[in-house]
Chains A and B, each alone.
Chain A
């Protein structure tokens, strides 16, 4: 049996013994997690340490595995959206929209332009919220709490916008097949405009606090680097891949929801270290703001959902007064909607990279198989490779700059 199949403690016990016999030095095993405050989520790293230096490590994940893929096989399609909320809960609307777009692809539903633009706005707001968390928490992990508290107000404002649109804040369960459950209120647009007005000054100030800060630079430059080839081989996507210098962005390479209508840059880094990841996310926030502005300027008039009575719940007053609407209402709620036998893969650019949905349907009310391609799960396996030979405190900074979200990691 290969040594790697043993629990890491057992493996490391041998190495500790060998080193002791060799030169009398004392290696130690350290549990980083599962509930360490610096892991920002429940996952464990068992590290073999030589003093402050990491010799080897093994990640143990699955502490909050909730069997989403299994549950999805037993739920009608509209009941799966709340599951997607709980994967990357820092940018839940992106997951929701990704799931609806997957279904629309499977059902061949054409969505009105207005809906596509509204989706772009909400997805970019979610991306900003995601990047706010990642970058400000990176500050916290390197010892700068101020920036975190400062920008977190604005995550709150984004959550207020979500609230205005769908009623929920964190786990949004936003939208329907073919569009939104209601049109966006004037209050929502007002809040978005306020956010667009106030946030740039705040974000500039946040960048000024950290970007050229000597201490922050010393703590992050050349910390946890990964080369472009290795990142690609490990399946990195999103900001972490772009920080290594590859301009792969799902929004550009396979545009969905009318992303091709907007002008934006794809920021890339060079060395793939913690500092580059930080800078790429900072720059992406500016691009997201610009996309939201363009979408608001060009926002077409029109319906807020596609005309698909088979899948889209009718308005309540029709349900009470109109036989046909009542029938549709019941059929949708019971999950008895017509679904073709098909297979689709749809990917969106999530906060952390390519979030993919692979859906197999067999014509019944539930998916036959639904697989989530979760970017966190795929790139987190590189973590031990990235921190080997580094100091423990650098491992913490690397971990938080990778933005590993336990919910997405474990599904």
Chain B
């Protein structure tokens, strides 16, 4: 019998109450939000519960929402997959913009290790309890977190190229016309 999304929602609400909110079906994936301090508990429950059985951590990634309120400026997005019933879920943990911190998932899935390092590398999100939280794709000496939205893709001072007419800069208004 396939695992219904309503069952997932009921089980999570019964166990975690207000820490799990915002249930929504987005295209083919059932999604919700998890309070960042209960992330590890929720993931353990999803993994180890006899009915839910989300045995596989598909993906971890970060997102930056600089225009949101302070408490919701970063998100860590987890995709999990139940292979027995073939159900995928996605949940997001929103984090504080000044001091993004969340628990690690390395105690539950070995594969979380590098994915969390990558998220740290690009967004500066601290995973508490991670055994080796250091940069992975960028060089160790780097000071900025390049996937944050305030980090420009190209040096803004360049005068030799003008990309306005080629659909490349999302924010055309800020490019001074010459």
The answer to whether B167 and A342 have CB atoms under 8 Å apart is no
List the one stretch of B2-10, B11-19, B83-91, B96-104 in contact with chain A.
B83-91
User: Cβ of A364: which chain B residues have Cβ within 8 Å of it?
Assistant: 170
Q: Which residues does chain A contribute within 8 Å of B61, judged by CB atoms?
A: 358, 369, 371
Chain B interface residue bracket vs A: 35 or more
CB contact between A230 and one of B58, B110, B122 (< 8 Å): that residue = B110
Question: Interface on chain A toward B: helix, strand, loop, or mixed SS?
Answer: mixed
Please determine whether B86 and A253 come into contact, CB atoms closer than 8 angstroms. yes
Cβ-defined contact, B168 with A74, below 8 A: yes
Q: Are B111 and A378 closer than 8 Å at their CB atoms?
A: yes
A344 & B26 in contact (Cβ 8 Å cutoff): yes
A40 CB within 8 Å of chain B: no
The answer to whether B175 has its CB under 8 Å from any CB of chain A is no
Question: With A235-B111, A381-B114 in contact, is A345–B79 under 8 Å at CB?
Answer: yes
Q: Does B51 contact A (CB under 8 A)?
A: no
Q: Are A61 and B115 in contact (CB under 8 A)?
A: no
Binary contact readout A370-386 vs B (1 if CB under 8 angstroms, 0 otherwise): 01010001111110000
Q: Which residues of A contact B139 (CB under 8 A)?
A: 62
Nearest chain-B residue to A382 (Cβ)?
Answer: B110
Q: Is the CB of A373 within 8 A of B58?
A: yes
Q: How far apart are the CA atoms of A382 and B114 in the complex, in Å?
A: 10
| Segment from A63-71, A162-170, A192-200 that makes contact with B | A63-71
Please provide the chain A residues from 327 to 375 with a CB less than 8 Å away from any CB of chain B in the complex. 333-336, 342-345, 347, 354, 356, 358, 360, 364-366, 368-369, 371, 373
Seen from chain A, the residues whose Cβ lies within 8 Å of a Cβ on chain B are: 2, 4-5, 7, 61-62, 65, 67, 69-71, 73-76, 79, 105-106, 230, 232-236, 248, 253-254, 333-336, 342-345, 347, 354, 356, 358, 360, 364-366, 368-369, 371, 373, 377-382, 410-411
* CB<8 Å pairs between A and B, sample of 23: A61-B136, A67-B146, A70-B153, A74-B170, A75-B167, A106-B27, A233-B111, A235-B56, A235-B111, A248-B83, A254-B86, A336-B167, A342-B27, A343-B27, A344-B26, A358-B59, A360-B63, A365-B170, A369-B61, A373-B59, A378-B115, A381-B111, A381-B114
With A233-B109, A377-B115 already in contact, 8 other A-B pairs whose C-beta atoms are closer than 8 Å: A67-B153, A235-B58, A235-B111, A235-B115, A336-B167, A356-B79, A371-B77, A381-B113
Please name the 6 residue pairs, one residue from A and one from B, whose CB atoms are nearest each other, closest first. A235-B111, A335-B167, A62-B137, A371-B61, A4-B132, A65-B137
